[in-house]
Structure 1
Amino acid sequence: MESKGCCSGCSANKNIDYRSRSSKLKVYDWLENLPVSSLFPPIVEIHFKNTRKGYFINENGIPLFKDDIVAVEGTPGHDIGIVSLTGDLVFEKMREEGIDYKKEEFKKVYRQARPNDLDKWHQAMEREKPTIIQTRKIIERMGLDMKLSDVEYQGDNTKAIFYYIADKRVDFRQLIKVLADEFQIRVEMKQIGSRQEAGLVGGIGPCGRELCCSSWLTNFSSVSTGAARKQELSLNPQKLAGQCGKLKCCLNYELDVYEEARSEFPRTDTILKTEQGDMRCIKTDVLRQKMWYVYTDPKKIGMVEITVERAIEIQKLNNEGKLVEDIQMKDSQEIEKSLSNYGGDLVGQDSLNRFDGKKPAKKRRKKRYRNPKGKKNTNGN
């Protein structure tokens, strides 16, 4: 088995940390200390540049561990990647992604990376940045309506994947011929969206953390403005958009919690009828289960905060043809009743109205004059 020290960036490899190339979308193996089941084939997850991953079968039974650099089957030739996951957790991830290991044909793991494999891989990585700059000039010269996002060379330095973004369909057949002649490689063009570009390039989000799509988020789900409405967020495109210009993926994270909490709310367009006048809802707090009402009559000023349970009860009374005297009366009575159960002698909790009245004026004590010793009074006494 090859030494791990040679793979982690020793002097023979020009002090390059190859693992920093695939540091995105890492997975914590919570089954690491458990014995590996023999019911599944020896399949491992291999991580390549940025967020590209793949599943490969270890037919030769090579002892592989996490962070090992290996040579795997390419199309054509071979590619170099880093082992990111082994054991039974691989099949749990495949099940989540809808991959059937019994029907899928997996590419092979050839060997652990040798020094000459790492040298070729290092040369391939050094070519990527100049290739991006030169390719963008070629695209601009040819007048193609597309944006080159990233370039990834295969480990054997014979093929490159060009990631691009385009709003419309682009005829890049001539571009492929020019790129193949310019760089003497096989060319594969892969169109991605703005969300995928953010995952490839990476960055820091408005929250101050690394982008979810470049750190742990593997599947993109559609995000709509309805998610922002249900969470009572301001519909400001600048605040709701992420680095990719689309709606933030994190808008879906707490959406289920808000939908469940909002299911207990009554209809906000229902008018509450009281003896003082009709009231309508103007504001809700989903997590605190609060609702705010104001009078429909513009002459009456005031906003009242009540709980969701109280609003439901008042609506039921209105449906029975009854008017409530005060929508907050029951709440205050219940609080006073609960305090009286404790004996009513709690410090500072005697009554809810204890601070409403004016405090009695304190009698100021008249300051007495003290005659210092050895001094006579001004009156001559």
Structure 2
Amino acid sequence: MTHAPQIKIPATYMRGGTSKGVFFRLQDLPEAAQVPGAARDALLLRVIGSPDPYGKQIDGMGAATSSTSKTVILSTSGKPDHDVDYLFGQVAIDKAFVDWSGNCGNLSAAVGSFAISNGLVEADRIPQNGMATVRIWQANISKTIIAHVPITDGAVQETGDFELDGVTFPAAEVQLEFISPAADEEGAGGSMFPTGNLTDELEVPGVGTLTVTMINAGIPTIFVNAEAIGYTGIELQDAINGDPKALAMFETIRAHGAVRMGLIQHVDEAANRQHTPKVAFVAKPAGYISSSGKPVGAGDIDLLVRAMSMGKLHHAMMGTAAVAIGTAAAIPGTLVNLAAGGGALSAVRFGHPSGTLRVGAEASKNNDEWTVTKAIMSRSARVLMEGWVRVPGDAF
């Protein structure tokens, strides 16, 4: 009986923010996978261990959650005034599908570190000690991200005392700037608010007519008030992820919102666009016990937010959704802004299942059109393992 031997591919397993994934240099991928297409998707699916009808990804590097079923491909940037091109692939767990429709804001925190350590940033841009500024071109959404990476003795500093709720151990702080995060090239209708409204009435069969804010900033996101769908905003994962009816409701909201945002033409197409848009629900501040047992007081936060990712309630908050939260909070009249008390807000601290997170945004209004110059937040990143991943040679 013939068999295909395994091949090995240089790779690094990294945590970025509250996510982790497998990072590759484009030049290290097998030739057939160096270009977009079926071979690349098949390779990444096999690396992560999908599709897995058991929902565990035992035979791959994934860990069977949306936060850990991720891949990143990096290369020296071909864009002027940028250091590295960053391409993100969200790998479905139970389907043979890689979603390239959006960014991962959490893994964005690891891109600068990986790029420096793997020779993708010119040496003269890296100080011996201090802060390296890495200019990232996010190729999925055609946006610029600036990462400020700490450097000690000429190498990336990964350890430190910065604590991030949703991550067990402290690490070095990496500040991220998402430049002009609102969609203006390929996203939904080409504007921050695809319908032109800060709020809309969205008819959702089986659910009702919901007041929503639909925004393209960081990642296309549909915000709804928690009480409108029977929640308080202090829910943890088990309250929703163990409820098939609730999950079906959120997917229906997502599909109909995607049509209104211009991301798809028909609700049936949502199944092939799982990564975007996101659905999040918001509420005014209230105290709760986070998933780690840490109490969060109503006075500690400006609002509550819970967000869905790849069909499940996220254990903390997606980085791109945090950008959407910060941007929407900065614009008076959105559901996010109103939940945070309304008015002019340059930054908010919101409560999520694992704790709290602060995000800021710079917004301005010109000729009745809102623009956001950048959104800012801090994350951390760390190499977990580096070397090679192995896949059967006939897997792609």
Structure with the higher strand share, 1 or 2: 2
TM-score, structure 1 normalization: 0.29
TM-score, normalising length from structure 2? 0.28
Q: Which has the higher contact order (CA 8 A, sep 6+)?
A: 2
- Choose 1 or 2 for highest CA Rg: 1
